[in-house]
């Protein structure tokens, strides 16, 4: 005897398709029509515990207004006292990340077709006042016919999220795909930052690798702010131009959706999506409310902390851990570079070091040493500016007592952190 699966409304739940910290996605069948769906089951207690309720509610609100063939469709939302059920379009072809990892880069013809669909979907979102803010290969699914379906709108922004200056200010996204102006934390245009992410996706589709990548977070940031990724010679002139203009570090001169669609390379064999845009979501209000933070006390998620919410992602490669025994330590501070250098110099002199300064580097050596058979401690300190008010400090021991060096590192970290955020790398 075959045991039937659990029922939620008219949907019979089947096997699990995926699972995260606060949600589980199951295959489901409409018992009336026989149609397949993906049901995202969200535990209310988990989203409160993880403080991600605002993301869930934002995703529901966003998907309610989106109906496009290149965007995953939300068909219905149901709820019980303990769970929320999002009935979504079932997309069976996996995501672009898995596609590239398993089969490598795409041909320019195939890649352009998928890119055209991506731009169609993103352009539609922007016309609706929706800005995704976390576009990446993992959030671009493929259906059974190989067509693109954009998903995961938990970090999307709507018009009400703009401040008085007309810009967005929440730092979010995934490190390798995030636009430089988002990292700068001075406000950014949602449309332009999405285009940067689409440029990264196009680059990966056509080359099989990321345009900006480094195991060290500080170096990755510097590459993103500089722009100018290495572009293979074998790409066509049109593809090269498209990538360079989309990955322009200046959001003002960066290519727009209109500019992309007017480009000859993009228009080659372009078939715009034909669809009727209409309201399509049935939202059952029974106990569907989710507690949210007050709008005047938002939670700010750092771009590089955000992906830590996903249990399957290992962040260890993004950071260099503290290596005192290996003679080197790095940390991040948001103090001015000149203030950081002056503080380090003062501390070193108080500890009996002779200090030489050259630009953003200090060289220091102990003036006296009472340790028999042990030479004085020689070290260097250098400050690397990522952006204004975001600096990486690197301390490196050339030779000498490791214990004294460890004490110095601890003191500098503590003193810099008294009036500034310090993050060890």
Q: Where are the domains of the chain?
A: 7-89, 96-272+300-306, 319-424
**pLDDT score, position 423:** 40
Confidence (pLDDT) at 173? 63
Q: What pLDDT, on the 0 to 100 scale, is given for residue 52? A: 66
Residue 182 banded pLDDT, cuts 50, 70, 90: confident
Tell me: pLDDT of 352 over 70.
yes
Which residues 6+ apart lie within 8 Å of 7 measured at CB?
Answer: 13, 31
How confident is the model at residue 253, as a pLDDT? 95
CATH code for the structural domain at 319-424: 3.30.310.80
**In CATH, 7-89 is 3.30.200.20:** yes
User: pLDDT-derived band of residue 51, with 50, 70 and 90 as boundaries?
Assistant: low
- What whole-number distance in Å separates Cα of residue 246 and Cα of residue 233? 18
Annotated binding site for ATP: which residue ranges? 40
Beta strand pairing call for 74-79 and 282-283 = parallel
For this structure, is 277 an active site residue?
no
Contacts 24+ apart (CB under 8 A), 15-19: none
Binding residues: 40
Residue 327 has pLDDT above 70, yes or no: no
Tell me: pLDDT of 298 over 60. Answer: no
- Let me know if 378 is exposed, middle or buried by CB neighbors in 10 A (0-12, 13-18, 19+): middle
273 in Cβ contact with 70 (< 8 Å): yes
Catalytic residue among 134, 152, 189, 248: 134
For 43-57, 161-175, 359-373, which range has the lowest pLDDT when averaged over its residues?
A: 161-175
Average pLDDT across the chain, whole number: 77
Cα 115 to Cα 112: distance, rounded to the nearest angstrom? 5
What mean pLDDT do residues 269-277 have?
A: 79
Task: Name the residue with higher pLDDT: 96 or 394.
Answer: 96
pLDDT at 318: 35
Residue 112 vs residue 351, higher pLDDT: 112
As given in the structure block, the two tokens for residue 96 are 């672009």
124-156 pLDDT per residue, tens:
999 998 988 889 999 999 998 889 999 888 777
Of 96, 214, 100, nearest to 151 (Cα)?
96
Residues sharing a CB contact under 8 Å with residue 1, sequence separation 6 or more, in sequence order: none
Q: What is the pLDDT of residue 376?
A: 75
**What's the pLDDT at 288?**
46
Query: Which residues fall within 8 angstroms of residue 251, CB to CB, at 6 or more apart?
Result: 179, 181, 188, 189, 192, 193, 196
Position 158 scores a pLDDT of 63
Q: Which pLDDT score, from 0 to 100, does residue 168 have?
A: 63
Read off the pTM.
Answer: 0.67
pLDDT at residue 1, rounded to an integer = 35
Instruction: Give, in words, the CATH class of 96-272+300-306.
Output: mainly alpha
- Return the closest-CA partner of residue 393 out of 326, 306, 325, 322: 322
Residue with tokens 């070091």: 353
Evaluate if residue 290 carries a pLDDT over 90.
Answer: no
Going by pLDDT thresholds of 50, 70 and 90, the confidence category of residue 269 is very high
d(CA 29, CA 31): 6
- Predicted local confidence at residue 171, as pLDDT: 58
pLDDT confidence of 57, banded at 50, 70, 90? Answer: confident
d(CA 90, CA 173): 25
More confident residue, 175 or 224: 224
Mean pLDDT within 247-271: 94
The CA R_g of the chain, rounded to the nearest whole Å, is 25
Higher pLDDT among residues 311 and 83, named by residue: 83
pLDDT category, 118, cuts 50, 70, 90?
very high
Write down the pLDDT at residue 411: 81
Q: What average pLDDT does the segment 9-34 reach? A: 85
Q: How confident is the model at residue 261 (pLDDT cuts 50, 70, 90)?
A: very high
The answer to whether 405 and 324 have CB atoms below 8 angstroms apart is yes
- Tell me the mean pLDDT in the region 167-186: 75
- How far is it, in rounded angstroms, from Cα 246 to Cα 260? 9
pLDDT of residue 294: 37
Q: Is 81's pLDDT higher than 50?
A: yes
Which of 203, 196, 204 has its CA nearest to residue 224? 196
Q: Do domains 7-89 and 96-272+300-306 have the same CATH topology?
A: no
- Name the least confident of 73-77, 206-210, 245-249, 303-307: 303-307
């Amino acid at each position: 005897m075959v045991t039937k699966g659990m029922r939620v409304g008219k949907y019979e739940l089947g096997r699990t398709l995926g699972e995260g910290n606060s949600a589980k996605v199951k295959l489901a069948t409409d018992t009336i029509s026989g149609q397949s769906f993906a049901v995202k089951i969200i535990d209310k207690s988990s989203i409160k515990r993880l403080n991600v309720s605002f993301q869930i509610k934002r995703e529901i609100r966003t998907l309610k207004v989106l109906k496009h063939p290149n965007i995953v469709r939300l068909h219905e939302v149901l709820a019980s006292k303990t769970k929320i059920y999002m009935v979504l379009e079932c997309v069976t072809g996996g995501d672009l990340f898995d596609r590239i990892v398993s089969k490598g880069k795409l041909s320019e013809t195939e890649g352009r077709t998928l890119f055209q669909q991506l731009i169609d979907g993103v352009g539609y979102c922007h016309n609706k006042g929706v800005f995704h803010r976390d576009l990446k290969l993992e959030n671009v699914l493929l259906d059974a016919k190989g067509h693109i379906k954009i998903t995961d709108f938990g970090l999307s922004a709507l018009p009400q999220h703009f401040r008085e200056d007309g810009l967005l200010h929440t730092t979010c996204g995934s490190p390798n795909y995030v636009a430089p102006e988002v990292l700068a934390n001075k406000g950014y245009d949602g449309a332009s930052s999405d285009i940067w992410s689409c440029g990264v996706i196009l680059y990966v589709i056509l080359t099989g690798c990321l345009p900006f990548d480094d195991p060290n977070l500080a170096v990755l940031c510097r590459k993103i702010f500089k722009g100018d990724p290495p572009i293979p010679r074998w790409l066509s002139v049109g593809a090269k131009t498209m990538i360079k203009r989309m990955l322009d570090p200046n959001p003002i001169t960066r290519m727009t959706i209109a500019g992309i669609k007017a480009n000859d390379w993009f228009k080659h064999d372009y078939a715009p999506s034909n669809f009727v845009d209409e309201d399509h979501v049935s939202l059952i209000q029974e106990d569907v409310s989710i507690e949210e933070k007050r709008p005047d006390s938002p939670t700010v998620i750092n771009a590089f902390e955000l992906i830590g919410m996903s249990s399957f992602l290992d962040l260890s490669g993004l950071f260099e851990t503290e290596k005192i025994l290996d003679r080197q330590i790095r940390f991040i501070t948001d103090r001015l570079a000149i203030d950081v250098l002056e503080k380090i110099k003062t501390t070193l002199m108080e500890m009996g070091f002779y200090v030489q300064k050259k630009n953003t580097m200090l060289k220091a050596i102990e003036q006296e040493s009472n340790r028999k058979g042990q030479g004085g401690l020689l070290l260097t300190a250098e400050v690397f500016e990522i952006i204004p008010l975001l600096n990486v400090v690197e301390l490196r021991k050339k030779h000498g007592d490791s214990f004294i060096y460890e004490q110095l590192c601890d003191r500098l970290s503590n003193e810099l952190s008294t009036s500034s955020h310090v993050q060890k790398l």
